[in-house]
Amino acid sequence: MNQPTAFRRPFRNRLGALLTGACLSAAALVSVPTAQAAPQGVLDLTCTPPSSSVTTYTPALTNTPQTVSSTVSYQFGPCLSSSGVTSGTAVLNNAPRQRSCLDLLGSASRTLTVTWNTGQTSTMSLNVSATVVGAVLQTVLTGTVTSGLFQGDAVLINQTAPAATILTCTAGLGTVPSLYSTVALEVTSL
């Protein structure tokens, strides 16, 4: 179908302008230097579930504050590391203090010393943050290795536990004698 010349000429001009603009835009993108990503640390150690922790409260937590002591036992492994670490254990004994199940949420500071299967240890200074998301208690520990193997490295520990007993306790309908969490640990050089 032949179209009048008057119609074809503006179409060609518009097409030419679009193509020229596209070429200039592409040239500008190629000539602009791309931003480099910030250097990331090297993952020195990772431990995945079935890594776990068990926290025991004596006496069991209720929704009324009372003097309670707690013990957290960690089992790390399987772990992957270039240093030969494949597993580790740690026990954190918390002195008796006034606590209720409402205290399970929020933030705190902890020092944790892990003994690895190689016989070496790592002492970690950690900040703890715990929240309930749906039916899950999510506890995130971040900090650094202050001494021993991986000294100076950043630490990230994610603990996940069912929140059913906590929710029941905060409603005044039960107690929290213990918590079982799955654990993922990453130690990264800075």
Residues 7 and 58 in one domain: no
Give yes or no for a contact between 77 and 87, defined as CB atoms under 8 angstroms apart: yes
> Can you give the pLDDT at residue 41?
80
User: What DSSP assignment string belongs to 95-108?
Assistant: EEEEE-GGGGSEEE
Residue range 15-22: mean pLDDT, rounded: 36
Q: Is the pLDDT of residue 36 over 50?
A: no
According to DSSP H, which parts of the chain are helical?
Answer: 5-31, 164-170
Portion of the chain with pLDDT greater than 90, in percent: 73
User: What DSSP assignment string belongs to 29-41?
Assistant: HHHSPPPPPPPPP
Residues 70 and 125 in one domain: yes
The domain in which residue 58 lies consists of 43-188
Residues 2 and 94 in one domain: no
Task: Find where tokens 């791309």 sit.
Answer: 34
Question: Which stretch of 6-10, 34-38, 173-177 has the lowest confidence by average pLDDT?
Answer: 34-38
Residue range 24-39: mean pLDDT, rounded: 33
Number of domains in the chain: 2
| pLDDT band, residue 30 (cuts 50/70/90) | very low
Provide the whole-model pTM.
0.76
Which amino acid belongs to residue 139? T
| pLDDT band, residue 40 (cuts 50/70/90) | low
pLDDT digits (tens, 9 = 90+) for 109-142: 999 999 999 999 999 999 999 999 989 999 999 9
Residues 81 and 131 in one domain: yes
> Can you give the pLDDT at residue 136?
96
Give yes or no for a contact between 161 and 181, defined as CB atoms under 8 angstroms apart: yes
Q: What is the DSSP letter of 4?
A: P
Q: Is the pLDDT of residue 148 over 80?
A: yes
Q: Is the pLDDT of residue 24 over 50?
A: no
Residues 9 and 66 in one domain: no
Residues 4 and 85 in one domain: no
Residues 5 and 61 in one domain: no
